[in-house]
Amino acid sequence: MLRPYIQYFRKKYKPLLKSNTNSRFLKSVIILKSFILEDFWPKDIHMKVRSGFTLVEMAIVLVVIGLLAGMGASLLGILMKQNKFRENQRRLKINAEILVQYALEHGGKLPKTKKCLEELRYPKDAYGQFFLCKIAPELENKNACSVKATSLYIKDLEQGLSKSRPAAFILISGGRNHNIQTRPTSPVIIYPFEHQGVDDYTGDFKRLEPYDDQVEYYLLLQLKAKINCPPRIRPFPNRR
């Protein structure tokens, strides 16, 4: 049964035994090497193993894929938050323009605070909560051009303005935390973004946390400019 194999090895390795190499040890090494690479471990199998991946290589690849997936998820979350913020700002600006257009079409008057949301294109913000709208009471029944000042004052600390100024209206969104933190009564204080421990509005619930309200407002002077109020002419003092 083994005779064919013996004849095969004699025929193949007999030239090596008759070679000019004097060292028997060297001849044995050459024969063993040839046997391992050509007979015991054929070339096609050897190449197939070399073309695959080891467990260590596969583990490294999986770790890298996991890290990339984690970074991608974090980046996606940041981008989604930024998109929500920009969309919310866009809705605020459009609603403010609608109120200005309302004043143009109604003789310089603005809708009553209770009916303000009915006039807006977007009554809800990008986070699914209703906007808070506050109209200066003087402009609900009077032409803004005839009003010298309103009882709705705004102090915009986010813009670095510490002095309160009369406003026509203000729109407020509770932002990402769904918590309105801006008091809509005079003086309305707009804090810098992420200002710690703020909740001036008690209409929903009291929860002190970083300020993230998004606000859009028009000062009385800004509204007058938008609806083309004629400039006030101051009479010259009488001189004797």
Q: What pLDDT score was predicted for residue 9? A: 56
Same domain, 128 and 28: no
Give the per-residue pLDDT at 12. 59
Cβ atoms of 95 and 171 within 8 Å: the answer is yes
Q: Does 138 map to a domain?
A: yes
Check residue 231 and give left, alpha or beta (phi > 0: left; psi -120 to 50: alpha): beta
31 and 121 share a domain? no
Nearest to 178 by CA among 134, 131, 115, 121: 131
- Rounded CA gap, 171 and 113, in Å? 11
pLDDT at 45: 45
Instruction: For residues 97 and 215, state if they share a domain.
Output: yes
Low-confidence ranges of the chain (pLDDT < 70): 1-53, 75-77, 232-240
Residue 215 shares a structural domain with residue 101: yes
Structural domain tally of the chain? 2
For residues 134 and 184, membership in a common domain is answered with yes
pLDDT reported for residue 207: 85
The reply to whether 176 and 98 lie within a common domain is: yes
Give the pLDDT score at 130. 96
The reported pLDDT for the residue numbered 239 is 53
Contacts of 119 (CB under 8 A, 6+ apart): 98, 99, 102, 111
Are residues 222 and 148 part of one domain?
A: yes
Say whether both 28 and 102 belong to one domain. no
Containing structural domain, residue 17: 3-50
Write out the DSSP string of 151-208.
S-EEEETTTT--S-EEEEEEEEE-GGGT---S--SSSEEEPPTT-SSB----SS----
What is the C-alpha to C-alpha distance for residues 191 and 158, in angstroms, rounded to an integer? Answer: 5
Which DSSP symbol is given to 20? S
Whether residue 12 sits in one domain with residue 121: no
Does residue 76 sit within a domain?
no
Task: Tell me whether residue 183 is in a domain.
Answer: yes
